[in-house]
Amino acid sequence: MTTVFQGLPSRVVFGKGALAGLADEAEALGCRRMLVVCTGSQRTAAERALGVLGGAGAALFPGAAMHTPVEVTLEVMKLVEAEDIDGVVAIGGGSAIGLSKAIALRTDLPQIVAPSTYAGSEMTPVLGQTEAGRKTTQRSVKVLPETVIYDLELSLSLPASVSVTSGFNAMAHAAEALYAEIPNPPLLAIAEECVRLMARALTRIVIDPGDETARAAALEAAWLGGWSLANGGSALHHRLCHMLGGAFGLPHAETHTVLLPHILAYNLPSAPEALGRLGRALNTPEPAEVLFDLGQSLGAPAALKDIGMPKTGIDEAADAMIAQGGWNPRALDSVSLKRLLRRAWSGDHPRMERGGLLLKPAF
C-alpha cells in the first residue's frame, strides 16, 4: 500500500505568555489593520490582545456565536469592509475561531488564532457554518489559520467542566483519525498520543484547575487532536455532531462528549488498528466504555436529552445520516444507528459488540 502525506502550512507558537508576541506575528504576516473577534465571555482577553497589537489593532467584534451562524458572519463582514481590515485575530474557543475562519473563507485574509479551550479547531482547514437550522461543513486551506498561538495563560481560567468537554472534543478528533480512510504513520502516532495526553491531563485539571503542567499537557493534546482531524478527515462521529448541533442547537463540545463513547462502541469492532491504539492510550481493552466512565467521573454530561435534544429527533437524525453517507469504517444501517442514538439520548452505558473484560484506566 502506498502512503501519501501532504503537510498543511501553519505556524505554531507555544508557551506561557506567548500572546505577548502577537504584534510580531502580525508584522510577519504583513498585517497593519487587524480585527480581533471573540465571544462576549472572552472580551477582556480580546481587549488585551488588541492592546498588544498596538497600532496594528483596528477593531474588536465580541459577537462570535456557537455553530458560526451565517447572519453573524454577514454582520462582521460589514465591519471588515468599513475598517479596511487586512487580518483577523481570534481569541477564545470554537465560536471565535469559526467566525475567523468564516471571514477568511470570504476574504482570504490571514488569521492568527489564540485558543482558550482544547477543541483543536485552530489546526484544521475545516469550517462548519449554520444557516436556517442546518449546519454544513467544508474543507479549504483558505480557512486554515496561518499562525496559532498557544498561550497557557488563556486557558488557566477555563472552568473544569468546560475543560473536560472541550478535551473530549479533541479526543474525538484523534479517535476518528485512528480509523481514517487513508491513514499514515505520523497520523496514527500523533492521534494516539493526543488521547493519552488528554485523558490524563483532564483528570488532573478536575482535581486542581490551577495545575499548569496539566493545562500545558491539555493544550499540547489539543494541538495534536486538531492536527489529527486536519490530516485524517472525519467519519460518522463528526458528521453526526455537526448535524445534531445545527438541527437542534446542541452545544458543540458537550455533543462530542456524549456521542464519542457510543460511536466508538459502534465503530471499533470494524477498526482493529484504532481499537488497539486507543486501548494502549487508555490502558484498557475496552476504550469506549472507559471513555464513558472517565467522562462520568469528571462530571461531564452523559445523555443527549440533558443537553437539549428532543427524543423525537432520533429517527430524523438517523435518517439524515443514512441519506448523507460518507466514509465510516463500519457501514451504517438505520436500525443500528437509531439504537446508538437511543442509548446516547438516554445516557446508557455503551457496549461494544464483542467480549472483553472492562478494566479501569491507569491514570
- 359 within some domain: no
Task: Say how many Å lie between the first and final Cα of the chain, rounded.
Answer: 36
What CATH number is given to the structural domain containing 323? Answer: 1.20.1090.10
Do 114 and 170 belong together in one domain?
no
Measure the CA–CA gap between 274 and 263, rounded to whole angstroms. 13
Tens-digit pLDDT profile for residues 228-282: 999 998 899 999 998 998 889 999 999 999 999 999 999 999 999 999 999 999 9
- What domain range is 252 assigned to? 160-346
pLDDT tens sequence across 65-74? 988 999 999 9
Domain co-membership, 180 together with 317:
yes
pLDDT at 355: 40
pLDDT exceeding 70 applies to what percent of the chain? Answer: 97
Residue 137 is assigned to a structural domain of this protein = yes
Residue 4: the pLDDT is 74
Judged against a pLDDT cut of 60, whether residue 202 lies above it is answered with: yes
Domain shared by 87 and 207, yes or no: no
Q: What is the pLDDT of residue 351?
A: 78
Map grid coordinates 475562519 to a residue: 101
Residues with Cβ within 8 Å of residue 351, at least 6 apart in sequence: 265, 289
Chain centroid to CA 174: how far? Answer: 10
Reported confidence tier of residue 363, pLDDT bands at 50, 70, 90: low
Tell me the H-state helices in 298-333. Answer: 313-324
> 68 and 191 in one domain?
no
Give yes or no for residue 197 having a pLDDT over 80.
yes
Mean pLDDT of 289-305: 97
Convert the pLDDT of each residue in 57-110 to its tens digit: 999 999 999 889 999 999 999 999 999 999 999 999 999 999 999 999 999 999
Q: How far is CA 342 from the centre of its chain?
A: 24
Structural domains in the chain (count): 2
